[in-house]
Structure 1
Amino acid sequence: MNQRDICTETAACIADGLGTPWAVGPSEHGPGPGPRIVHPDGRVLLVGAPRMHPTAYVTIRAQMPAGGETYEPAPVSARADRGQAIAKDISRKLLPAYAAALDSARQHVQAEAHATARRQAAATHLAGLVPGGRWSWDHPDATTRVTAHLALPDAGRDVPVLARAWIGGAGETADLRIERLPLDIAAQVMRVLARAARAPASRPAGHAVDRHLEQLRRKAA
């Protein structure tokens, strides 16, 4: 019996052992997980390719939503010839942990989607404040980057200035870097920061972002 047949037979035995409404679903295409044992509530068990040495061992993993992989509970490994008995191990070890992990993963994914939307709205807002401003994703550190190439007057000539802002978290703060900024304009920026430090907080952080998100929602409606 080859590996694919072992996986298919084992998945069928596990589904029978778990009982209705668990059922064998379509396999994933390409390399990676083989048969899938699915539940109508969205839970999916993945039966990995068996390890042959010399008895075939299979590993059953809990599938997590994209972005929530770090919440995956410990998998269950067992001899493939144990058949439906593997389902008992899954019911005792994997399924209780899976339910809690899946709930946490879904909450995490939802929170990340909300934070991403806020970062995008903040970036759109900042990019719209300067000529030629544009924003893009900065994937390595999960931030949104705003870039603007400006020509600022200094002593009768135009100085090319590169301004960048990295927006992280939930879009409430930004890290700024401005290169070749004329000194008098830099002084103005510092004065603005000084006034903001002295002024009482009249609006919560992210007020402009919330307003921009509301405008986008109205347009979509």
Structure 2
Amino acid sequence: MPNYDHEALLRIAIEHADALCEHLAGDWHRTEAVQTEASIARDGCELYLWGYEQNGTARLSIQAQLPDGWGAVDGVTPPEITVHTDRSIESIATDIARRLLPAHAEQTARVREALEREELRQAVAASIIDYFLETMPGGVPDLHHPGTAVTSRGPDRFSASLRLDHDAQTADLHLRGTPIDLTRSLVDLTGRRLSDETPAEGTADRVLDDLADAITALASARKRIPMDRLLRETALNLLILGRIASNRLDDRVRREEIESATDDLVTQIRHAAWELPVRPASDTPPAEH
């Protein structure tokens, strides 16, 4: 016969949750326990508590929840500790502060970094796929991989296919039936581009300096760039920068506000690009003043 029924274990979890709110540092408070017997939270962290019986004694499991999406990150699981319920609340609170909360902070950072990389990858992938579909004649998404592969056909014998690699940093581009003058231009452009590339310096200050230089160069050249392309590239970079910045914030509400505002702005810019009239081939951008 068990020594503790469900009601007794539930009561133990709730009593410990109430007591821990008083003994843990910070503004901890009880939350609605949907997936567990009791839960407490403070800004940026939520702990699930449930009781169970082992060898005739009551034990308490305490698990720190990770940000949404953690299940998609390899090697990450919510950190958890178990304690005997006959221990003092003070010693359990000390154990949580010493073992559980640091593990939660470390795993949360890993999850957010991984999700940030994935959001960036998806943004880059969506941008190049959309650009291909908008630019290439007869462009259609791949039936099996619409988010990472596209094809186009025509005019004449020309056809093209594009497939992004998993990291969305490189892609396979296949061109068939390409006119010889266009082929020569592509070879020339590719050769010069690859020859001019130099390894990027990875320091944070240098990266930010390069970004500032690029924005300055864009401001100088903006009137020579077709408006539709300027709008599309602006939308992409706003989305990327907004996600990079917001994912560094611990305040979830503030993070969601920034992401929502960024999404609204990006959507307006993209719609402005779609609504532009198609410019005849003979038109040229206005000269820089």
TM-score range for the pair, normalised by the shorter chain length: 0.5 to 0.7
Structure 1's 111 and 162: CA in aligned 2 closer, same or farther, altered over 3 A? closer
Residue 65 of structure 1 deviates from its aligned partner by 0.9
Number of residue-to-residue matches in the alignment: 201
Taking a change above 3 Å as real, the CA distance of residues 192 and 34 of structure 1, as seen in their structure-2 partners, is: farther
Aligned to 1:166: 164
Q: C-alpha distance in 2, partners of 1:108/1:47?
A: 27
Distance 1:79 1:44, change over 3 A: same
Q: Secondary structure at the match of 2:169?
A: coil
| Structure 1 residue 105 displacement after superposition | 3.3
The verdict on how the C-alpha distance between 1:33 and 1:112 changes in structure 2, with shifts beyond 3 A counting, is farther
TM-score normalised by length of structure 2 = 0.53
More helix, by proportion? 2
| Correspondence for 2:33 among 27, 38, 47 | 27
Deviation, structure 1 residue 218:
6.0
Q: Which has the higher strand share?
A: 1
CA RMSD of aligned residues (A): 4.2
Contact residue 126 and residue 147 of structure 2 kept, 8 A: yes
- Aligned-pair CA distance for 1:91: 1.4
* Long gaps (5+) in structure 1: none
Instruction: Find the aligned partners of 1:114 and 1:210 in 2 and give their Cα distance.
Output: 20
Distance in 1, matches of 2:101 and 2:172, equals: 43
**Which residue in the other structure is 1:133 paired with?**
140
Give 1:90's aligned residue: 96
Matches within 5 A, 1:104-119: 104-119=110-125
Percent of aligned pairs with the same residue?
20
- Counterpart of 1:128 in 2: which secondary structure? helix
User: Larger RCO: Structure 1 or Structure 2 (Cα < 8 Å, ≥ 6 residues apart)?
Assistant: 1
The letter for the 2-side match of 1:173 is T
Query: What is the CA distance between 1:125 and its match in structure 2?
Result: 1.1
**Cα–Cα, structure 1 residues 122 and 83, in superposed 2: closer, same or farther, change >3 Å?**
farther
Q: Structure 1: how far apart are the matches of 2:114 and 2:58?
A: 36
Which residues of 2 match residues 42-57 of structure 1 at below 5 A?
A: 42-48=44-50, 50=52, 52-57=54-59
Equivalent residue for 2:128? 122
Q: 1: CA distance between counterparts of 2:12 and 2:84?
A: 11
TM-score of the aligned structures, taking structure 1 as reference length: 0.66
Which letter does structure 2 place at the counterpart of 1:37?
I
Preserved contact between residue 48 and residue 60 of structure 1 (Cα < 8 Å)? yes
- Aligned AA for 2:161? A
Work out the CA distance in 1 between the residues paired with 2:152 and 2:81: 54
1:186 deviates by 10
Distance 1:210 1:81 in 2: 66
From 54, 61, 64, the equivalent of 1:62 is: 64
Give the direction of change, closer, same or farther, for the CA distance of 1:83–1:26 in structure 2 (3 Å limit).
farther
8 Å contact from structure 2 (residues 67, 112) kept in 1: yes
Partners of 2:144 and 2:268 lie apart in 1 by 22
> How far is the alpha carbon of 1:26 from its aligned partner?
1.0
**Which residue identity lines up with residue 10 of structure 2 in the other structure?**
R
Tell me, in whole angstroms, the C-alpha distance in 1 between the residues paired with 2:186 and 2:93: 62
Q: Of 146, 149, 155, which residue of structure 2 is paired with 1:146?
A: 149
* Alignment partner, residue 232 of structure 2: 212
Deviation at 1:123, TM superposition (A): 1.7
Shift of 1:25: 0.9
